[in-house]
Every structure is written in structure tokens, then in C-alpha cells.
């Protein structure tokens, strides 16, 4: 995977513990983002709070969508479903996402979260509405 640096809303990226955007693939509609899970994101002795897990995968799904649309469209999540398989612990995690199907204004996206050992910790599906960036002014 090629490392790609993308500037996003700095406070949001910082809050999520973003380390780097690992890859963006416009043709395949794919993205991968690396995060550092800190103890301040955890409960119950080192289990990442589910909102962070969801946020990490959601951000990767948004990046996959933006890459595929040339960053001309803003992805607005209409719904998201996350299945948690095992706890995310402090350390590096990687969220990966890809477009399953794309229409003119709606995109169906899937994603997952892996720990540093490559274990899948969670999977998600999302329906995203595409809004032209120009309409958000």
C-alpha cells in the first residue's frame, strides 16, 4: 500500500487518534487509515469504546467514497451497522473500507477494523448519500 497524506479536519483526526492515511484507491473505491488507540479511548481495563471503533471504520468508508468521487462529493452517512467481533485494545489499528455498489446519489460501503496482528476486530456496512461539495457552500 502506498502512503498518502491527506489533510482533513485536524481536530477530528486528532480526536480519533489518526496516525496516517495508508492508502486511497480511486479506481477501486478503497481506503485504509491507521489509528492509535489510547487508554483515554478505553473502558473496562483497556477495551476501546465502541464509538471510536465505529468512528474509525466510518472515516475509512468516507475516505473510500471521497476518493472514488474525486473529492467533488461529500459523503453523508445515512445509516451504519457495526458488528464487533473482539475488543480493540490500546495500540495501532487499521480501518479499511471499500465501495460495494455506487449509484448517482447513494453509495453502499463496507469496512473493517484490524489490529496490528491482522485480526479482524469489527466489520461495518453503511449507506451513504452523496452531496455535491458546491451545495454545502
Q: Which domains are present in the chain?
A: 10-136 (3.10.129.10)
Locate 15 and state its grid cell: 480526536
From first to last of its 137 residues, the chain has per-residue pLDDT tens of: 444 444 456 788 889 999 999 999 999 999 999 999 999 999 988 999 999 999 999 999 999 999 999 888 999 999 999 999 999 999 999 999 999 999 999 999 999 999 999 999 999 999 999 999 888 86
Q: Identify the three-state secondary structure at position 33.
A: strand
| DSSP-assigned states of every residue in 30-59 | EEEEEEEE-GGGEETTTEE-HHHHHHHHHH
pTM above 0.75, yes or no: yes
Residue holding cell 454545502?
136
What is the spatial distance between Cα 50 and Cα 13, in angstroms, rounded to a whole number? 17
Amino acid at each position: 500500500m502506498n502512503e498518502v497524506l491527506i489533510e482533513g479536519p485536524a481536530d477530528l483526526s486528532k480526536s480519533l487518534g489518526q496516525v496516517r492515511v495508508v492508502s486511497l484507491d480511486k479506481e477501486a473505491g478503497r481506503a485504509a487509515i491507521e489509528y492509535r488507540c489510547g487508554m483515554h479511548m478505553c473502558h473496562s481495563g483497556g477495551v476501546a469504546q465502541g464509538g471510536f471503533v465505529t468512528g474509525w471504520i466510518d472515516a475509512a468508508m468516507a475516505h473510500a467514497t471521497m476518493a472514488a468521487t474525486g473529492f467533488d462529493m461529500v459523503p453523508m452517512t445515512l445509516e451504519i451497522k457495526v458488528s464487533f467481533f473482539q475488543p480493540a485494545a490500546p495500540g495501532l489499528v487499521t480501518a479499511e473500507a471499500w465501495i460495494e455498489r455506487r449509484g448517482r446519489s447513494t453509495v453502499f460501503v463496507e469496512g473493517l477494523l484490524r489490529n496490528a496482528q491482522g485480526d479482524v476486530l469489527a466489520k461495518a456496512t453503511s449507506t451513504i448519500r452523496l452531496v455535491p461539495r458546491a451545495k454545502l457552500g
